[in-house]
Chain A
Amino acid sequence: MTTTIPKDDVAVAPAVPAERAVRVRLGPRHLIIAGFVVAAFVVPLLSSSFVTFQLTEVLIYGLAILGLNLLTGFNGQFSLGHSAFYGIGAYTAAILIHNYEVSYLWTLPAAGALCFVIGFLFGLPALRLQNLYLALATFALATAMPQILKFHALEGWTGGVQGLVVDQPEAPGFVPISDDQWLYYFTLIVMLVMFLCAEFLIHSRTGRAIMAIRDNPIAAAAMGINNSLYKTLTFGVSALYTGVAGALGALAIGFVAPDSFTIFLSISLLVGLVIGGVGSIPGCLFGGLFVLYVPNIANALSTGLAGAIYGVILLLVIFVMPAGAAGFVRIVVARISRWRQTSPEES
């Protein structure tokens, strides 16, 4: 029997696992994401500059929500203080551009680095706090932030209550697109890079350690994971993501003021997190869509009852998609594939 094996089969044999690997990489999830990325690049070419601006904001909120998701969704630590990190990022960008005339490109790493350090430091005392107590501690951070920004001693930088005007990025001369489109693509690329980084982080040893702490901190410690280090690092990385989003937000809006970064922003991000899907990276963008568009929809239906309508929509969405948009998509995909598996047997 062995003699009947053709010679070229030996050459084919190693190709089989390679082919399988390719098939694994191109699951329905990846096709959907690829479709979204292509759409994300095409849409601003077809839409008005206002819609492009709104989509830029969706991407920015999505990035901020991803920061919160890394902390809450993957590491199991609550935060109501992410408006503070968003604000620090925004103010870093604004101060660098307004007071020191730094190019906007450099404001993002600066905002990210500063927020990482502040997040890491805040994570240290937060180690002692669990769940609701941590939520309260971060709540304090969120309520303190607008006050700190108004503080006399910092007024030279922050502009106090008057806020700061930020010169918005202009499209370079060699690309034939508008400033709004330029900012959109800039944001999109930053977002894609950061989403990819998050994806790699979550699927690495570090990511598994982060999730192990969420699932069972005692078991994680028993396996040799340094819980304290990973929890504070996650806090730092989470703040970094939200801080970069804040810096992008300052560029998109062109103005920062203490009133932009209140506790309501934190709550919006938390709503976006739950709507998008806790522990889902692409789901954050659904969250961003919700945060931006649903208040507008509620307002369009009735200005006087906007708050109530927002609440009803929120309840409906939670009822229909209890695991968030990402969970909903997963269920739909699973149903379709099950249906495709069963239908040939029936026929």
Chain B
Amino acid sequence: MKHLTRRTILAAVPAAIALGVPFVSARAKDYGPGVTDKEIKLGNTGPYSGPASSYSPVPKSQVAYWKMINDQGGINGRMINFISYDDAYTPPKTVEIVRKLVEEDQVLLVASPLGTPTNSAIWHYMNEKKVPQMFVATGATKWDDPKGHPWTIGWQPNYQSEGRIYATYILKNKPDGKVGVLYQNDDFGKDYLKGVKDGLGDKASMVIVETSYETTDPTVDSQVVDMKAKGVDVFVNTAIPKFAAQAIRKAADIQWKPLHILSSIGNSVGATLKPAGLEYAKDLVSDFYLKDATDPKWKDDAGFKEWSAFMDKYIPDGDKTDAGYVAGSSLAATLAQVLKQCGDDLTRENVMKQAASLKDFTVPMLLPGIKANTSPTDFAPIKQVQMAKFDGQRWNLFGDLITGAVG
């Protein structure tokens, strides 16, 4: 009898496998490239070297974040194999590396490549190959284009919508103001300018000075002096930290006190306001979507604590005041949510489908109340910001969350 039983069992095993395998795959266990029962392979590029290497915390913190996810057991039981390469912020290198990721490494998707020129270089390739270009780490407006480029999705509030939010604020608080805009002579600067003008609508003639700088300029003093001379009383300062600080200092030196709006690019206390002099930065207005890690008011906040613990364990030598670590880990957290939603259907199609169906998702370092939402016609996950005023020590958020979607 014992003999017979063993035989029956032995015979039953292949039968069960034969019956079971099609049954399992019918339960939508569908894998795209780079996915197995144990692993999901993701690709990433970032500026570890080269002119934009100051942004390297963004890819670094993503690597660390996936390490933490793996230590916690992965996503739906699968470990994340996150392959991150240096593209030195040069578009040809990005093309080469992304082709390597897609064709050689066979990754499921390319996660958060950093930079506008670098993402532009792979934009067509990704969409032609139908590989998700997920949550790009750039605020250019063009990434929200579900019809033309259904395999590319943005993440942060884009610069144009920020510009519109400033316009709304100006119309409400200084409807007869004379506006001067200082912007960087490149895509992100021009996006801000366009947003401000579009937001002012038929009152766009309020903008009486549009002046730009190059990143290689020594100072922006002459631009600031020029604005005062022309009678500007609303100063929209969309410069990067170095120049934003110079402009704040120069305005104070020549005793010019316009309504001074500082863009989110340059509103870091450590990088901009301290060098400019905190006392000169009083009454500046700006907008935020991520928590400012230098602000002590978050020290008991659950999200900040979670992020801080992550930093202590996985990036112990990382500078917590560097906003790149906040952005990188938040990007990775959003992607983790998408992969969780995918379940066992880990095809590239489903990844895009899930990325386009985020519902009120939030990550620890987003401001309270700000949620990522997407739909098949909306590829701009984060659209809300909150205005804040500087009191000489720290930013104080005020007013409601403002949505400034630009499609």
Q: Tell me whether A323 is interfacial, beta carbon within 8 Å.
A: no
Q: Tell me whether B51 is interfacial, beta carbon within 8 Å.
A: yes
Binary per-residue interface labels of chain B (93-108) against chain A in the complex, 1 for a CB within 8 Å, 0 otherwise: 1011001100110000
Binary per-residue interface labels of chain A (160-191) against chain B in the complex, 1 for a CB within 8 Å, 0 otherwise: 11110100000000000000000000000000
Question: In the docked arrangement, what's the CA distance between A253 and B98, Å?
Answer: 12
Is B49's CB under 8 angstroms from A54's CB? Answer: no
From the candidates B84, B92, B123, name the one contacting A249 in the complex (CB within 8 A). Answer: B92
Question: In the docked arrangement, what's the CA distance between A45 and B124, Å?
Answer: 26
Q: Tell me whether B89 is interfacial, beta carbon within 8 Å.
A: yes
Q: Tell me whether A255 is interfacial, beta carbon within 8 Å.
A: yes
Is B85's CB under 8 angstroms from A303's CB? Answer: yes
Is A260's CB under 8 angstroms from B50's CB? Answer: no
B212 smallest CB distance to A (angstroms): 9
Q: Tell me whether A103 is interfacial, beta carbon within 8 Å.
A: no
Within 8 A of B (CB), among A237-264: 249, 253-260, 262, 264
Main secondary structure of the interface of B (DSSP, over half): helix
Is B92's CB under 8 angstroms from A147's CB? Answer: no
A103 smallest CB distance to B (angstroms): 20
Is A264's CB under 8 angstroms from B85's CB? Answer: no
Q: Tell me whether B312 is interfacial, beta carbon within 8 Å.
A: no
Q: Tell me whether A48 is interfacial, beta carbon within 8 Å.
A: yes
Interface centre among B92, B185, B186, B187 (most CB of A within 10 A): B92
From the candidates A53, A147, A255, A262, name the one contacting B121 in the complex (CB within 8 A). Answer: A255
Question: In the docked arrangement, what's the CA distance between A259 and B87, Å?
Answer: 12
Binary per-residue interface labels of chain A (210-250) against chain B in the complex, 1 for a CB within 8 Å, 0 otherwise: 00000000000000000000000000000000000000010
A171 smallest CB distance to B (angstroms): 15
A54 to chain B: which residues have CB within 8 Å? 96
Question: In the docked arrangement, what's the CA distance between A251 and B49, Å?
Answer: 26
Query: Given A161-B117, A259-B117, are A253 and B86 neighbors across the interface (CB < 8 Å)?
Result: no
Question: In the docked arrangement, what's the CA distance between A324 and B92, Å?
Answer: 26
From the candidates B104, B117, B185, name the one contacting A257 in the complex (CB within 8 A). Answer: B117
Is A299's CB under 8 angstroms from B89's CB? Answer: no
Binary per-residue interface labels of chain A (262-278) against chain B in the complex, 1 for a CB within 8 Å, 0 otherwise: 10110000000000000
Q: Tell me whether A322 is interfacial, beta carbon within 8 Å.
A: no
Within 8 A of B (CB), among A291-325: 292, 295, 299, 303-304, 306-307
Question: In the docked arrangement, what's the CA distance between A256 and B117, Å?
Answer: 9
Q: Which residue of A lies closest to B53 (CB)?
A: A307
Q: Tell me whether B275 is interfacial, beta carbon within 8 Å.
A: no
Is A260's CB under 8 angstroms from B90's CB? Answer: yes
A284 smallest CB distance to B (angstroms): 18
Q: Tell me whether A50 is interfacial, beta carbon within 8 Å.
A: yes
B49 to chain A: which residues have CB within 8 Å? 306-307
Main secondary structure of the interface of A (DSSP, over half): helix
Is B91's CB under 8 angstroms from A260's CB? Answer: yes
What is the count of residue pairs linking A and B with beta-carbon distances less than 8 angstroms? 88
Q: Tell me whether B216 is interfacial, beta carbon within 8 Å.
A: yes
Question: In the docked arrangement, what's the CA distance between A22 and B169, Å?
Answer: 84
B88 to chain A: which residues have CB within 8 Å? 264, 295
Is A303's CB under 8 angstroms from B84's CB? Answer: yes
Query: Given A161-B117, A253-B92, are A264 and B187 neighbors across the interface (CB < 8 Å)?
Result: no
Query: Given A50-B100, A304-B48, A306-B49, are A150 and B92 neighbors across the interface (CB < 8 Å)?
Result: no
B104 to chain A: which residues have CB within 8 Å? 48, 50
A49 to chain B: which residues have CB within 8 Å? 103
From the candidates A150, A256, A264, A306, name the one contacting B48 in the complex (CB within 8 A). Answer: A306
B207 smallest CB distance to A (angstroms): 17
Interface range for A = 20 to 34
Query: Given A249-B92, A303-B48, are A254 and B124 neighbors across the interface (CB < 8 Å)?
Result: yes
Q: Which residue of A lies closest to B89 (CB)?
A: A259
Binary per-residue interface labels of chain B (114-140) against chain A in the complex, 1 for a CB within 8 Å, 0 otherwise: 001100110111000000000000000
Is A299's CB under 8 angstroms from B85's CB? Answer: yes
Query: Given A260-B92, A303-B85, are A147 and B120 neighbors across the interface (CB < 8 Å)?
Result: no
Query: Given A163-B117, A259-B91, A260-B91, are A254 and B85 neighbors across the interface (CB < 8 Å)?
Result: no
A119 smallest CB distance to B (angstroms): 22
Query: Given A306-B48, A307-B49, are A162 and B120 neighbors across the interface (CB < 8 Å)?
Result: yes
Is A147's CB under 8 angstroms from B48's CB? Answer: no
A57 to chain B: which residues have CB within 8 Å? 92, 96
Is A255's CB under 8 angstroms from B99's CB? Answer: no
Question: In the docked arrangement, what's the CA distance between A306 and B121, Å?
Answer: 23
Is B120's CB under 8 angstroms from A257's CB? Answer: yes
Question: In the docked arrangement, what's the CA distance between A162 and B115, Å?
Answer: 11
Query: Given A48-B103, A253-B121, A254-B125, are A262 and B96 neighbors across the interface (CB < 8 Å)?
Result: no
Given A254-B95, A303-B85: 11 more A-B contacts, CB < 8 Å: A50-B104, A53-B99, A147-B216, A161-B116, A163-B117, A253-B91, A254-B124, A255-B120, A257-B91, A257-B120, A259-B91
Chain A contact residues, CB within 8 Å of chain B:
48-50, 53-54, 57, 147, 150, 152, 160-163, 165, 249, 253-260, 262, 264-265, 292, 295, 299, 303-304, 306-307
12 A-B pairs within 8 Å (CB atoms) are namely: A50-B104, A53-B96, A150-B185, A161-B186, A162-B120, A253-B121, A255-B91, A257-B117, A259-B90, A260-B92, A295-B93, A303-B86
Chain B contact residues, CB within 8 Å of chain A:
48-51, 84-86, 88-93, 95-96, 99-100, 103-104, 116-117, 120-121, 123-125, 185-187, 214, 216
